[in-house]
Amino acid sequence: MLMQNVKGTFDFFGNEQLLRKKTQSVLQEVFELYDFDGMDSTMLNELDLLTSKYAGGDEIVKEMYQLTDQGMRNLGLRYDLTIPFAKVIALNPSIELPYKRYEIGKVFRDGPVKRGRLREFLQCDVDIVGVEGPEAEAELMQVAVEAFKRLNVPITLRWNNRKFLGEILEKNGVTSDEKLSVMLTLDKIEKIGNEGVVKELISKGLDPQVTSALTELIQIDDSSFEYLSNKYNIEKSKGSLEVHALQQLIDKLELDKACQFDPFLSRGLSFYTGTVYEIFDASKTFTSSLGGGGRYDAIIGKLVGREDIQYPTVGISFGMESIMEMIKNRPIQLPQPVVVVLPIGETVSVVLKTAAVLRSNGIRTGLEISKRKLKKSLSSVAAKGIRFVILIGEDEANAGMIRLKDMKEKTEIVVTLEEAIKRIEYERKSVL
Amino acid sequence: MLMQNVKGTFDFFGNEQLLRKKTQSVLQEVFELYDFDGMDSTMLNELDLLTSKYAGGDEIVKEMYQLTDQGMRNLGLRYDLTIPFAKVIALNPSIELPYKRYEIGKVFRDGPVKRGRLREFLQCDVDIVGVEGPEAEAELMQVAVEAFKRLNVPITLRWNNRKFLGEILEKNGVTSDEKLSVMLTLDKIEKIGNEGVVKELISKGLDPQVTSALTELIQIDDSSFEYLSNKYNIEKSKGSLEVHALQQLIDKLELDKACQFDPFLSRGLSFYTGTVYEIFDASKTFTSSLGGGGRYDAIIGKLVGREDIQYPTVGISFGMESIMEMIKNRPIQLPQPVVVVLPIGETVSVVLKTAAVLRSNGIRTGLEISKRKLKKSLSSVAAKGIRFVILIGEDEANAGMIRLKDMKEKTEIVVTLEEAIKRIEYERKSVL
């Protein structure tokens, strides 16, 4: 069958598109209040960039759409907004640091399709480059809390620090070669449960003593930062100091209710170097992540190939498709015309001209030129809750007048268009 | 070299992105005043849809990016917003006709790159399905005229009717097999000149008599509709009647200055069935098209495979990249924070918290936490024309107060944050 959408892709229109756009506006407004600068990076990218070892890593590259152009260049569709951002910073040394950007755009992943997870989907990202932290981390948490507050979605933001987790793993005998792989497994606790994690750890062929230490670790009663740093005697380690500093800020900013430390969170991507975040629905009606991010200090410098410039960077991404899964049933009213203009007889040209004048005056105007019976047209207008109708018959047209019907007041007057515009605007303002 | 953009693709940020977004907002505002409904169709599409004989035709398919997914499905990136729109209508019989949509989104073409012509670029389309015309054609001309008026770009919209052109070609001995191919050549007059067109016509191996008749035709002195329909005695033909009806409407709507009839215009795409448009810079400083479109009555019905339902459709597309080429040097001011908050000493947490309160009150707020010297920070704020600075030292923090500097009035007061917000908002409103 020719007519079908590609698996995992959807068209949006009507109420759904309106709600999507409103959600994007809310996010954009918050991003701009927080003084982030808008960006629109390329969707097509050099394959080498997307598969570079500093980029997303094997897991994500497997799901990348690849293509070639007529010049046989190897390209890929972006799978996130992070690598393209790193590219923009690397390519534009004139950008003054610290730099804060936001971007709302589509990304593509050829992966499993489920609720809130599509193959072509919208991400909304903010990133700060040039601040070592933890102020930048805390500011992104503020952005997330403010944005979801405005969206009226209760969230829990879980956070961790990869260095700290790495230090704990070391203390449990995990070698540096095994570290990333073990982290990726621990990250799945929510998804596959403790048993699933243990099974996967065993399958990795770690030293049995290490596996049993890790099994004990994930079943620990008290997984607080204080308990763990004390238990492993790493209170003064680099990771511990970072966690401590950010926790202090979170407490002072009174973000501690929404932002909870989780020592087993690590996020799938290999490029994170410090703090990682993941945002969840606090009401737990929706279990997938609503967004996430983290610090990736190493990528830009490595892409640029200059070890002498520091590009400490931290970002957070909001997933539009997950957010929509949570709010899609909210009532929303498609914008309606303020006034509908109707011809009676051969007055279509006058109707079109009248409509253009109304529109250039900032009045959203509909046309009813479908040649239905007048009564039908009027009842359709009434059903939509549209208040004003302008009828133009040949008599009115010849006299340079229009017939203004107020469907609410049930009045009808013959006036000039200027007079009608005044009345419509007066009534609109008195409603606002 | 790893770090480069794909040929014909660009990243946008800073002033350029701001100007692009403002331009999109202007277009979107006009589209909504004209009562079009927003849409966001898929970028990935089934290859079969994009290459279907009812779609864009060979010329455009050559420039399509193709790819496969892991399930080995054959896909393509959309090369315009028209075919995806036709798909949405075909797939959603519940959409009530007439239906008016707008869409602003990226499309992809692997073609030659030049000024205003990229490989990944933004189009802004409006389409009306369910109106046979010519009111729909005229309404789209109104949209174009209003939109470019608001953008302050002087335009000439050239228009024609493919049926009418086809009738003239028939009268000149062009067979129906040759018609489309001859049209595509005539369409290049502006690009390759009369001589180029004649050369291309000869290369097509038409009957020499036909070629010489066409050569005469394109060099005709009077290319008005009246002259041509009279000369070829086709005043009552289908094409002539359509041209006449639309011309009448254009005159009555006083669009005749901006909208000029051009009997040799035909547009590259094969799917147009009646009216075609193309928009040009009236000042002729930029020679590429700023947009175009036309009537494509056949596509949707054929995609649906139902001959019993009529889907008369007409659309017009605005090319963001061409528009940007014309307006990119306009002065524009990047949005600046209304106020910048600065820590003095160890008050970063108070600064972050203060900033969050300002932001949740709708005040765009910047942070200056780069640890530069205070004097440097202040002069950078002043250079950007930002009026307010909030300084928070440890004394202020302990007292629950902030220090508000008004850079314009050169005053400095120690007040509560609530008081500062009141003052900032008062000054902002008195500026507006």
Instruction: List, for residues A11-49, the tens digit of each pLDDT value.
Output: 999 999 999 999 999 999 999 999 999 999 999 999 999
Give the residue from A29, A67, A249, A390 with the most B CB atoms within 10 Å of its CB, the best one to mutate: A67
**Residue bearing tokens 């607080």:** A224
pLDDT band at B428 (very low <50, low <70, confident <90, very high): confident
pLDDT above 90: percentage of residues in chain B? 77
pLDDT tens digits, one per residue of B45-73: 999 999 887 676 677 888 999 999 999 99
Would you say domain A14-327 falls under CATH 3.30.930.10?
Answer: yes
Sheet of B120-129: strand order equals A12-13, B37-40, B99-108, B120-129, B313-319, B291-295, B275-281, B155-161, B259-261
Pick from A79-83, A148-152, B55-59, B176-180: least confident:
B55-59
Domain A339-424 homologous superfamily, CATH: Anticodon-binding domain (3.40.50.800)
pLDDT of B66: 96
User: B5, A42: Cβ pair inside 8 Å?
Assistant: yes
The whole-number average pLDDT for the span A125-130 is 97
User: B49, A3: Cβ pair inside 8 Å?
Assistant: yes
pLDDT of A432: 56
pLDDT above 70: percentage of residues in chain A? 98
Domain coordinates of chain B in residue numbers?
A: 14-327, 339-427
Answer whether B39's CB lies under 8 Å from A17's CB.
yes
User: B43, A120: Cβ pair inside 8 Å?
Assistant: yes
| Three-class SS state of B211 | helix
Residue A139 phi/psi, 5-degree rounding, is -65, -40
User: A6, B73: Cβ pair inside 8 Å?
Assistant: yes
Query: Given A4, A139, A352, which is nearest B253 (Cβ)?
Result: A352
pLDDT of A115: 80
The whole-number average pLDDT for the span B361-371 is 89
pLDDT band at B370 (very low <50, low <70, confident <90, very high): confident
Structure-token pair, residue A223: 């997984």
Query: Given B35, B91, B106, which is nearest A43 (Cβ)?
Result: B106
Query: Given A7, A11, A337, which is nearest B35 (Cβ)?
Result: A337
Residue B276 clears pLDDT 50, i.e. is over it:
yes
| Three-class SS state of A139 | helix
User: Is ipTM strictly over 0.95?
Assistant: no
CA-nearest residue to A10 within chain B is B42
Residue-averaged pLDDT of chain A: 92
Query: Given B37, B52, B352, which is nearest A13 (Cβ)?
Result: B37
pLDDT tens digits, one per residue of A169-206: 999 999 999 998 999 899 888 888 889 999 999 999 89
- Closest Cα partner for B187 from B57, B320, B327? B57
The whole-number average pLDDT for the span A272-281 is 95
Pick from B73-77, B106-110, B163-167, B371-375: least confident:
B371-375
Residue A257 clears pLDDT 90, i.e. is over it:
yes
User: B6, A252: Cβ pair inside 8 Å?
Assistant: no
Contacts of B37 in chain A (CB under 8 A): 13-14, 17, 334
pLDDT tens digits, one per residue of A207-234: 999 999 999 999 988 999 999 999 999 9
Binding residues of A: 80-82, 109, 123, 127, 267
Residue B270 clears pLDDT 90, i.e. is over it:
no
pLDDT tens digits, one per residue of A308-359: 788 999 999 999 999 999 999 998 888 899 999 999 999 999 999 999 999 9
User: A4, B91: Cβ pair inside 8 Å?
Assistant: yes
pLDDT of B340: 96
- Which residues does A211 contact at the CB level (< 8 Å), separation at least 6? A198, A201, A202
Structure-token pair, residue B427: 């000054």
C-alpha B9/C-alpha B113 separation (Å) is 9
User: B254, A120: Cβ pair inside 8 Å?
Assistant: no
Please, what sign has the CA dihedral across residues B300, B304, B306, B309? negative
Pick from A86-95, B22-31, B188-197, B258-267: least confident:
B188-197
- Closest Cα partner for B426 from B329, B310, B338? B338
pLDDT tens digits, one per residue of A360-393: 999 999 999 877 788 988 998 999 899 999 999 9
Compute CA B209 distance to the chain's CA centroid, rounded to the nearest angstrom: 42
pLDDT of B1: 46
Pick from A122-126, B111-115, B240-244: least confident:
B111-115
User: B46, A4: Cβ pair inside 8 Å?
Assistant: yes
What architecture does CATH give domain B339-427?
3-Layer(aba) Sandwich (3.40)
The whole-number average pLDDT for the span A129-147 is 96
Residue A105 clears pLDDT 90, i.e. is over it:
yes
pLDDT above 70: percentage of residues in chain B? 98
pLDDT of A241: 97
C-alpha A337/C-alpha B190 separation (Å) is 40
Annotated binding residue at B123? yes
Residue A161 clears pLDDT 80, i.e. is over it:
yes
pLDDT band at A61 (very low <50, low <70, confident <90, very high): confident
| Pairing label, strands B365-367, B313-319 | unpaired
Give the residue from B45, B342, B352 with the most A CB atoms within 10 Å of its CB, the best one to mutate: B352
pLDDT band at A1 (very low <50, low <70, confident <90, very high): very low
Torsion of CA B133, B137, B138, B140, to 10 degrees: 140
Residue A56 clears pLDDT 80, i.e. is over it:
no
Three state DSSP letters for A280-309: EECCCCCCCCCEEEEECCCHHHHHHCCCCC
More confident residue, B63 or B334: B63
pLDDT of A372: 78
